[in-house]
């Protein structure tokens, strides 16, 4: 009886190959291209939402609609377009786009739960929904409490986390991710890419703190600080502003290290080279925009472009990080499959090397 005997290494390999093939076939079968396209659409809408939020703060319009969730007493969706003047245009548009993204995210959660075989991805769909609901509450609270810095910074930080969740969903539901046969397995790349993403997110939080404590022009010149390399006078706002500049240097170094590693060791891997090169481009753009924010005296459009480009830096770094972790994630999945009972080969025994 084949059930009772020890499996040979060849048989184990055959089983593993069969499992991989079955897993791959399962992925293909459950892969829904429209689901993936839809999540990409929501991710793009999230970037637009971040831009709309950037315009609200850049034009100082956050309190131009004093009530929430209503708009001057109107239901948000029945507020007359003719009354969208001045700062209301930015604030109310932001609310409408946010509501749209919220609605789209409900569909993301349900659709993902419906079609996605991976439990952690299904959970991520609901995490996106939770994040967007919390984000809406934070947006309302910051209006009702007259834009207190902690709530506004939380609102800005959660916006980027929500973007990261939708982007992660878009990446892991892509055919490229599901059908990957031999993803790069490079522990050093994983470390440097993850560190870069964490640094970028930290820098975004510092930037949000600078924005919501009105420290954007605390140092009015660039590249110097009051004509010096180091600011000759210090206060809380100068410190926050200078931390953001130092953060930019640290991130430039981290991005150079990450992209350099990819270009040196994985030049043939298009899925890594593309985000690495894009990351270099976005970081160069971000530093340039940051300089123009100062030189233009915080022009709202440039200021908003800086916020949006910051999200793109984070997103690109996250994509690179996810792809650097793909082998590890698939490895754990294969290990999980291999350690599961295998019919006909004495269960977990078959997984032993």
Partner 1 sequence: MFRNCHAIVFAGLLAAISACGSDTSKSSKPESPAAAPDAKKVDASTAATITGRVVFEGTPPHNPVINMGSDPACSSGNKGEVTTESVVVDNGGLQNVFVYVKDGLGNKYLFETPTTPVQLNQSGCHYLPHVLGLRTTQPLEIVNSDNTMHNVHGMPQTNREFNFGQVVAGLKNTVTFNAPEVLIPFKCDVHSWMNAYVGVVDHPYFAVSGNGGKFELRTIPPGTYTIEAVHEKLGRQSQSVTLGEKENKDITFTFKPAA
- Residue with Cβ nearer partner 1 (143 or 272): 143
Query: Binding partner 1 by CB under 8 A: which of 144, 180, 257, 337?
Result: 144
- Judged by beta carbon, residue 102 or residue 140, the one nearer partner 1 is 140
298 binds partner 1 (CB under 8 A): no
Stretch binding partner 1 (CB under 8 A), from 18-26, 53-61, 184-192, 309-317:
53-61
Nearer to partner 1, 1 or 85 (CB): 85
CB of 61 to partner 1, least distance (A): 6
Which stretch in 100-108, 141-149, 172-180, 328-336 sits in contact with partner 1 by CB under 8 A?
141-149
Q: Is 89 in the site for partner 1 (CB under 8 A)?
A: yes
Q: How far is the CB of 226 from partner 1 (least distance, A)?
A: 13
The minimum distance between CB 119 and partner 1, in angstroms, equals: 25
Cβ atoms of residues 151 and 138 within 8 Å? yes
Structure tokens at 107: 């569909």
Residue with smaller CB distance to partner 1, 89 or 265: 89
Q: Taking CB under 8 A as the rule, does residue 130 contact partner 1?
A: no
Question: How many residues line the site for partner 1 (CB under 8 A)?
Answer: 24
C-alpha distances in Å from residue 155, one per residue of 50, 102, 162, 244, 258: 11, 15, 10, 19, 29
The 62-81 site mask, x for binding partner 1 (CB under 8 A), equals xxxxxxx---xx--------
Toward partner 1, which CB reaches closer, 43 or 61? 61
**Shortest spacing between CB 60 and partner 1, in angstroms:** 6
Interface region with partner 1, contact rule CB under 8 A, candidates 136-144, 212-220, 258-266, 277-285: 136-144
Shortest approach of partner 1 to residue 231 CB, angstroms? 17
Shortest distance, position 190 Cβ to partner 1, whole Å: 38
Closest alpha carbon to 155 in 107, 196, 203, 211 = 211
Burial class (CB in 10 A: 0-12, 13-18, 19+), 173: buried
Give CA–CA dist 254/322, Å, rounded: 17
For 278, the token pair is 């894009």
Q: Cβ closer to partner 1: 140 or 346? A: 140
* Residue 85 in the binding site for partner 1 (CB under 8 A): yes
Of residues 23, 41, 96, 141, which one binds partner 1 by CB under 8 A?
141
Which one, 68 or 113, has the nearer CB to partner 1? 68
By the rule CB under 8 A, 87 interacts with partner 1: yes
- Under the binding rule (CB under 8 A), the answer on residue 149 touching partner 1 is no
Q: Does 88 bind partner 1 (CB under 8 A)?
A: yes
Taking the least distance from each CB to partner 1, the nearer of 102 and 300 is 300
The 8 Å CB, 24+ separation contacts for 290-293 are 290/222, 290/245, 290/248, 291/222, 291/223, 293/216
Closer Cβ to partner 1, 114 or 145, answer by number: 145
Instruction: Look at residues 153, 143, 108 and name the one whose alpha carbon lies nearest to residue 128.
Output: 108
Is residue 344 within the footprint of partner 1 (CB under 8 A)?
A: no
Rule CB under 8 A: which residues touch partner 1?
A: 59-68, 72-73, 83, 85-89, 91, 140-141, 144-146
């Amino acid at each position: 009886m084949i059930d009772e005997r020890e499996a040979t290494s060849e048989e184990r390999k055959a089983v593993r190959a069969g499992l991989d093939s079955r897993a791959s076939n399962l992925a293909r079968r459950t892969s829904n291209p429209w689901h993936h396209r839809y999540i990409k659409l929501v991710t793009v809408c999230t970037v637009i939402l971040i831009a709309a939020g950037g315009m609200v703060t850049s034009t100082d319009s956050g309190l131009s609609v004093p009530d929430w969730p209503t708009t001057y007493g109107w239901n948000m969706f029945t507020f007359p377009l003719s009354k969208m003047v001045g700062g209301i245009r930015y604030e109310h548009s932001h609310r409408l786009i946010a509501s749209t993204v919220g609605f789209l995210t409900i569909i993301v959660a349900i659709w993902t739960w419906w079609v996605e075989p991976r439990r952690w991805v299904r959970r991520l769909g609901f995490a996106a929904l939770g994040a967007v609901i919390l984000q809406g509450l934070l947006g309302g609270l910051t209006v009702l409490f007259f834009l207190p810095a902690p709530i506004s910074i939380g609102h800005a930080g959660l916006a980027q986390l929500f973007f990261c969740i939708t982007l992660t969903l878009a990446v892991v539901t892509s055919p490229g991710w599901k059908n990957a046969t031999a993803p790069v397995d490079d522990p050093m790349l994983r470390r440097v890419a993850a560190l870069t993403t964490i640094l970028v997110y930290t820098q975004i939080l510092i930037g949000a703190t600078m924005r919501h404590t009105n420290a954007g022009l605390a140092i009015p010149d660039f590249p110097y600080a009051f004509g010096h390399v180091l600011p000759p006078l210090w206060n809380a706002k100068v410190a926050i502003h200078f931390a953001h500049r130092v953060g930019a240097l640290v991130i430039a170094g981290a991005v150079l290290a990450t992209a350099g590693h990819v270009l040196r060791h994985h030049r043939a891997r298009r899925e890594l080279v593309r985000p690495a090169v894009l990351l270099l481009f976005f970081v160069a753009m971000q530093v340039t925009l940051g300089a123009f924010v100062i030189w233009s005296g915080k022009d709202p459009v440039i200021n908003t472009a800086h916020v949006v480009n910051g999200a793109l830096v984070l997103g690109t770094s996250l994509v690179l990080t996810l792809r650097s972790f793909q082998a590890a994630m698939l490895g754990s999945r294969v290990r999980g499959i291999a350690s599961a009972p295998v019919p006909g080969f004495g269960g977990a025994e078959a997984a032993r090397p």
